[in-house]
Amino acid sequence: MSTLYIALGAFVLYLIAYHTYGRWLARRIFRLDPQATVPSVELNDDCDYVPTSKGIVFGHHFTSIAGTGPIVGPALAIMWGWVPALLWVLFGSIFIGAMHDFGTLVVSLRNRGMTVGEVAGRLLNKRVRLLFLVLLLFALWVVLAIFGWVIASVFVQFPESILPVFLQIPIAIWIGVTVHRKGRSLLWPSAIALTLMYATVWLGAGCPGMDWTGGGLGAAIQSLNQNLAAWPLWLWVAVLLAYCYAASVMPVWVLLQPRDYINSLQLVTSLGLIVIGLVVAATATPAEGGTALAMAAPAFNASPLNAPPIFPFLFVTIACGAISGFHCLVSSGMSSKQLKCESDAQFVGYGSMLLEGFLATLVILAVGAGIGMGWQKYPDLQGAALWTEVYKDWKLVTGGEAIAAFVVGSANFVQTLGIEPVMARALMGVLVASFAGTTLDTATRLQRYVVQELAATFAPRVSPTAMAAEAYDTEFKRGPVKRGFSLNPLVWLTNTHGATLFAVGTAFLLALFPAPGAEWSWQTIGKGGLILWPLFGATNQLLAGLAMMVVSFWLLRRGMPTWFAALPMVFMLAMPAWALWIDVQRWQAGGSWLLVGVGAIMLAIETWMIIEACLLWPKVRGVLEPALPPLPPRAGAAASGA
């Protein structure tokens, strides 16, 4: 029963936090104004800036920030014990993560939807802006390379998830056209889309429950799944990045936004199934055909085999479930361009992070108690003995085993509802692959923005399709826009298609390498993201600390309290830097000089930005940054609907 109490207690705690701390931030600190003009209206271009209802933006935002982070992180960090993992998820998400997401969303809203890197240039200086954008470019580059591999790995482990993930695309386009272009109510299209998506899961699982004479459709689909799962990883990465290119250059309402929204419907209802299954598993007695559900994982484990020290690595391993720097990109790079009312920011920014924290809580319960109910891979083990076998070595869990542990544990919960095992695994496999997919396509669009911003910094003349041409970039003066073909590659990179091709092309080049230590072959390439992946955890968390620095400066310049942002900022600058320093020493001892070099550069950039901030901090209290310049006629015309 303790697992049930944990789930219910977490849910109640998050509700209280939303209506107390979240409301205080919204009303007393950020003073959200429902009548304020928002960037989606002011710069409406029907492509990136699109006024959208808060329900759709919430779904788009939630699935974009979630990814596999709140699954892999807690599923791995539980090796230090479920209690420290749970405490960091609960209180980290409420007081640090949700505030971080909410704060960066509001600051971006008040700065015409600029990314947090651009806002850093306005609130601090141009050097900080440039350093911030370089960090963002690196982090997103690694995300694109690694998430293609992650999704491909899920497809290989759970082939029944392949068809549902790709069949979501036409469903998403249909709902985007129905709601955005035709202006219809969201209720019935949502219900139809959700029904169709669950039908695709059943179809992808081979139509369980149907008796097809002579094999029939179910056998054909299972054969197709196996054939698709046999594709080499590099080919899957190429296919996924090609999809991401299309999603990035299309208007956001055509594919990216509606796909994330319908994914959120499926993912939230799947989480509901997990909760109901947990209730059944926790309350059913063995005499009724149930199992005594208890935590198989230890409450504390200070020294797991081959694991790094719990301090500071707990706060780097669990990122998305508590706080993640990637979220500041989604808040400022995507959601701030779509909210049609400023007061929706609490629901989207603060509320979605709390839902992600609840997801991370369920992951802890699934891998801490759910897998103890049984795993086909270990037919003779159950309970604590099974958990100990799965989690006997940190190095054995850091790959796909952590994801598999969640899929198996959560599927065990769902099976208590009478759902067939193959269907339960398909549901959870689709959940993981969909989360990863929504992060991948969003990251591609974000990388496109960052490439455009960096290119526009140095290009002597910018493309008319670049955001800088719309007064998006206010820190640098430009020469007159040169229309037509240009030989300057920087000008190409300010273009939507040029920046997106650069984003997916460089990610694919990185992915084409084999994993560290592996030989080159058609079977081993596709895992190149793993080369730099060890740097991502600390770099991602450093971004969170730096984003809170931007929020703190925004508050400081307005003479407002800063403690609730500044204290987490210090913590999230110190913990990742400490972890990265330990890693650099370990990599140096192991001769991994590429990681040592890049890690040292990351630490140097962080130190430089902190010094700039410390020198500026005492000088700017109550001193507002320069006002944004008036919008040029072209942007004004777009905003008025021309």
- Per residue in 558-583, pLDDT tens? 999 999 999 999 999 999 999 999 99
Instruction: Give the domain CATH number at 410.
Output: 1.20.1740.10
Worst-scoring range by mean pLDDT, 2-6, 23-27, 61-65, 244-248?
Answer: 2-6
List pLDDT tens digits, range 481-537.
Answer: 455 556 677 778 888 899 999 999 999 999 999 888 888 887 788 888 889 989 999
Worst-scoring range by mean pLDDT, 11-15, 226-230, 303-307, 322-326?
Answer: 226-230
Give the separation between CA 8 and CA 411, rounded to whole angstroms. Answer: 19
Residue entry with tokens 């599927």: 411
User: Which residue, 398, 399, 376, is CA-closest to 386?
Assistant: 376
Residue 358 CA: distances (Å) to CA of 278, 322, 355, 404, 431: 14, 10, 5, 19, 15
Residue 8 CA: distances (Å) to CA of 85, 89, 356: 17, 15, 15
**Chain centroid to CA 272:** 20
Range of the structural domain that residue 216 is part of: 2-639
Backbone angles phi, psi at 340, to 5 degrees: -95, -5
Angle at alpha carbon of residue 376, lines to 370 and 377, rounded to 5°: 100
301's tokens: 């484990």
List pLDDT tens digits, range 438-460.
Answer: 888 999 999 998 998 888 777 75
Using DSSP's 3-state secondary structure scheme, residue 514 falls into strand
Using DSSP's 3-state secondary structure scheme, residue 209 falls into coil
Confidence of residue 470 (pLDDT cuts 50, 70, 90): very low
Structural domains in the chain (count): 1
Question: Does the pLDDT at position 469 exceed 90?
Answer: no
Give the separation between CA 33 and CA 129, rounded to whole angstroms. Answer: 28
pLDDT (average), residues 615-620: 96
Backbone angles phi, psi at 525, to 5 degrees: -70, 160
